[in-house]
Structure 1
């Protein structure tokens, strides 16, 4: 068994709350367009816009806001009032200003692991927003490195764990997304630890690789130290 030396952590919905603010904003968006589309239909159209735009805008609040505007234009056939566009922009700015809410067991787990392993924050999304959330969280000092990436693939983990550790085989990735945090890390040769969150974006959902010897699942981060001790 390869000795574990590096642990990567996802940020959004692994270290702090994130998806709940998107859900709240979607509800607000549905209210703004209530005269033009039923909520379920509107949110389906929004999701389709987000899928189309990932290659253009990437992940994060700014791309989400632009997708809301695009959807509003589409469902109103170009007649969306300027006041509604203004409300959508205001909702996006509010998301970018929202205080960071750290999840349970995060602080004590990082305190225990820091110094014993190289800790690397690996997150995708808007650079400025992710830097803001990390600074507000107060968790930055626990990490030996921070990588804000456009997407997460096996190649991403191979590069990051080679740059900041002893390679993927000596590393573990911890996160709430099976698609982005777990499956590609395992493909790269790392351990993949799934920490479910009650809200996970539909585009991040895939089947768990339960038969793989390097896959693990825990209920919360407070169980991570015990899991590592049993490897």
Structure 2
């Protein structure tokens, strides 16, 4: 069929493997380190504001997060943060960059079923080295026809990627756990967008689902993806 789906885009972090939980653990450790200087809620608000402010400078990923932790520590202590706390923050960042890859349920068998039927493209944002490391450790790399590690995900990103690696956005589906980054901009580009919620999602990725859009779908886990793709064509 001329309008049949030929290309599937997959997000990586918290769609194929665990990611946000490591940020949450580091933030809890950070709150313990700064407990003498700020309440947990206030510290979290200030960190979020600094992360948001730094996105255009550092982009997404662990390195930018670590720098934002340090900046927050300097700010809440009015420049008096001990060097020992800075050292612990840096150590926590390095530990995040070394954490093992924990593949989410149903990922392996779903990709095995889809790899001969569609072009599979991994589309992820974040630090280049860290994303490449996680993909290599996951053992999932051979399933994908292409890998795109991008600084941001918007309508133009999906138009470009699905034109490069597929038959255009209209014949593609994007699957991911972020409505803001994975689903809505892909739909704006003309693709289908399939939302796979994760129990932990960064607050800056929270937006309302586009439930009125005919190309929006939601599943509970990737084990439901194959029958849904058969349904939508």
TM-score (norm 2): 0.99
**Residue equivalent to 1:109:** 110
How do 1:75-154 and structure 2 match up within 5 A? 75-154=76-155
Distance 2:162 2:204 in 1: 25
Distance 1:19 1:202 in 2: 11
Confirm or deny that 1:15 pairs with 2:16: yes
Q: How many residues align?
A: 231
Distance 1:208 1:38 in 2: 32
Q: Residue 124 of structure 1: CA displacement? A: 0.1
Confirm or deny that 1:168 pairs with 2:157: no
**Residue equivalent to 1:65:** 66
How do 1:37-56 and structure 2 match up within 5 A? 37-56=38-57
Distance 2:206 2:168 in 1: 27
Residue 216 of structure 1 aligns to a residue whose secondary structure is strand
Distance 1:32 1:68 in 2: 11
Distance 2:150 2:32 in 1: 33
Q: Residue 115 of structure 1: CA displacement? A: 1.6
Residue 74 of structure 1 aligns to a residue whose secondary structure is helix
Give per-residue Cα distances to partners, 1:26-70, cap 9 Å, x unaligned: 000000001100011001100000000000000000000000000
Q: Residue 95 of structure 1: CA displacement? A: 0.3
How do 1:191-230 and structure 2 match up within 5 A? 191-230=192-231
Gapped regions of structure 1 (runs ≥ 5) = none
Give per-residue Cα distances to partners, 1:117-163, cap 9 Å, x unaligned: 00000000000000000000000000000000000000000000000
TM-score (norm 1): 0.99
Gapped regions of structure 2 (runs ≥ 5) = none
Distance 1:134 1:194 in 2: 21
Distance 1:26 1:41 in 2: 13
Distance 1:222 1:2 in 2: 25
Give per-residue Cα distances to partners, 1:88-113, cap 9 Å, x unaligned: 00000000000000000000000000
